[in-house]
Structure 1
Amino acid sequence: MASNSPAPEGIELQETPTAGAWGEWNPTEDSARPPRGKHRVVKQRGGLARSSTVLGVGVIAAVGASGIATAQDRPQVAISMPDLPDLPDFGLGGAGGHGQHAEADGPAAGAGASTKPTGIIAQQAAGHADAGATLVGRILQQAESQESAADAQTRAQAERAAQEAAATEAKAQREAAQKQAEDARLAAEQAAKEAQAAADAKAEQERIAKLAGSYSLPTSAYTLTSHYGVAGSMWSSGYHTGLDFAAPTGTPVKAVAGGKITSAGWSGAYGYRIVLELEDGTEIWYCHLSSMSVTSGSVGAGETIGRVGATGNVTGPHLHLEVRKGGSTMDPLAWLESKGLSV
């Protein structure tokens, strides 16, 4: 039987004792209560029960201090603990010997518990295994979340790139359409201008043709000798006021347009002269005539009204033709050409 004698004085309890650090002793309630100050143990006394108990407590303390990895390498030991009240915890997670008494009831109990350890070491190992599984689960969940975020970012970037590409293509198409519309507008304007120019040219041709049918050259088989505006002392005004058609005497002289003869007879330096007034008030003077066929009344374009001569102040036979409007003279050549006549 275990003795309740106190442990020897002067022996200190180490933080991490080993199985061979102590002698065999049997703690009692008084001797096992931790003293104040330094941790001290009671004196050892002989006995197998005390030795086994101390050895078991030392093993448990050593395993708890060195960690789970070291404790797992050692085989489980069946520990026999006396039913002592209010034993110190020693960091084993239980209250005194009551927590370990059921596991130390002999080989049968140890053999039955070997298949499913329920001690502190196994509980700690299981707790760490659960914590490891939880950590792995969290890591996998975080990796999955990061992968999902990366996929979402990739999709967002792809969608943004697609939108930008679509916007660029739409802009290019819009600019192309605008350019095409502008080109079409310019082409239409150019076509309209060309059509207008063609219409104007046609109208001018028609006008000239109409005028050509309404107007006639004053004579034929002629040569132009003196033009309008030529300066010289031969003319009283200091310059030539008409256009001279040199032709043989007796060459017919015709009315350039339909009108009314307002004057016919001798006119000094002009010799025999006929004045034909047109509908717009323009006067045509036929001068230096050798004879006059019509001296009054209305005449039509191309009708013969006299003949070329050399009367008045002349140097040879010719028709001196003047064009006057509002009392002022103008260039007969330009006027005849404006009526569609080729002089």
Structure 2
Amino acid sequence: MAFARPTGKHRAPSRMARKSASIAGVAALATTGVIGTLASPSLAAETGAAAPESGTVTLESTGLSTAVAADSLATEIADQAAAQEQEAEEAVARAKAAAEAKRKAEARAKEAREARERAAREAERKRLNAFVSPVSGSYVSTGYQAGGAVWSSGSHTGIDFHAATGTPVHAVGAGTVVEAGWGGAYGNNVVIKMKDGSYTQYGHLSSLNVSVGETVTPGRQIGLAGSTGNTTGPHLHFEARSGAEYGSDIDPVAYLRSHGVTI
């Protein structure tokens, strides 16, 4: 009696069909990069392969492990290269920032140094152009053009500052010494040609501290007060002149005040 094979959806797959399906499943797993465990001991038996004790099938000949490892190594190398490149860029940026900070610091230091130098030059300029009283802390004891027989011209050609013998006498401003020594009625005297072309004279000195040709600055000690020459007692005779000649005298008080000296 012959049996007819069931058809349609109720027909069971043949052994050959089951084998083909199992192989197709393995191929699909290999294509997706998945190497897994297949619960098909019959596949191993039917293909003649020895099934592992755990019941798994190992795909040894696909080359997928090598490809995955190579791709992973390439990715790691690329990441390292990118990290090194970023680190190098950051190092360059830090070096540029440090160089810029150094440049700015040097520029600030230069500006500060130049400002100090300008201030020092200005202070020196002011000092050299400044005027001081010839005797510190003193006062005028005899005024300009005071009359009397004691003066050969009939009047006082300068002013007298109260000063005891040995009191320091200072140059009232910057200039050059054109006379230093005995001056007749003026006794020991010093004459200075000032920077503005005027002249100042210091008479009756007990001693001198400068010589002809010497350059002096404001406040420089040029001698000590005394009573040499035509005098009735120790004091400083101070004159201001528009020229070197005797008789070119000008008001010493006005002269000093015009240069900022308070008398």
For normalisation by structure 2, the TM-score amounts to: 0.49
Larger Rg: 1
Q: Larger relative contact order (C-alpha < 8 A, sep ≥ 6)? A: 2
